[in-house]
Structure 1
Amino acid sequence: MKKKVEIVVYGAEQICPSCVNLPSSRDTFEWLQAAIARKFPGQPFAIEYVDLFNPPDEGKKRAFARKVIEEDMFYPVVVIEDRVVGEGNPRLKEIFAELEKYGYKPGTESGK
């Protein structure tokens, strides 16, 4: 594995109006965190949840949260290393494929 990848899930407590009957953003964040840990055991990654309506003061994350709202993107929005890989109802297959580009290996400890 080349480096510890940063994953950011942008969402809100209120479910996206176009995403009725889908899990909440927070539920998606927790599900994604568990799924990645199972698929890539022992391989470190950083995952963070950012509330669209109360983002951190960090400029980049605050700016992207504003973009999600202004562009009416479906949330949650999953971003890996500044690349959007899922929106509304993120697909594990696409997220896993993106992580593999960074050297993550399915089912192996420490990418060995």
Structure 2
Amino acid sequence: MEMKQPITIKVFGGEQKCASCVNLPSSKETAEWLEAAIARKFPNQVFIVEYVDIFTTTEGDNFLFAQRVVEEDLFYPVVVIHDEIIAEGNPRLKDIYDIMQQHGYQHPAV
């Protein structure tokens, strides 16, 4: 399977942690952690991790989704790939890896 274009992984969240996420890393820290973990799993393969602050974004699709996160009281960070929610709260790397592999990303043989 061949990759068509790089996947964009959007991490929606805020500086203030949601009530049930107090002991977890911040949304921004989660975005940075995801980026590092995915880069290790799929070296030399291009992808984008975009952090979106749900309280400060003001336009476009990101704004509309940020509103949804707030209005529906979703647990953030909310991880989104291709407009599909992959994780709420503490994301599971395996779920994200599986989706990336479905889109042609390959883990190199050891």
Same fold (TM over 0.5): yes
Which of 31, 35, 55 is the equivalent residue of 2:33? 31
5 Å-filtered alignment, 1:1-112, equals 1-57=3-59, 59-107=60-108
Q: Number of aligned pairs?
A: 107
Structure 1 outlier segments of 4+, above 6 Å:
none
Give the CA RMSD over aligned residues. Answer: 1.1
Q: Which sections of structure 1, spanning at least 5 residues, go unmatched?
A: none
Provide, for residues 3-48 of structure 1, a one-character-per-residue CA deviation record: whole Å limited to 9, x for no partner.
Answer: 2111100010001111121111111010000001000001101111
* Contact 1:3 1:102 (8 Å CA) reproduced: no
- Structure 1: distance between partners of 2:4 and 2:100: 11
Which amino acid counterpart does residue 36 of structure 1 have in structure 2?
I
Q: Could you tell me how far apart the structure 2 residues matched to 1:106 and 1:39 are?
A: 6
Shift of 1:107: 2.8
Q: Give the partner amino acid of 2:67.
A: R
Once the two structures are TM-superposed, the CA of residue 81 in structure 1 deviates from its matched residue by: 1.3
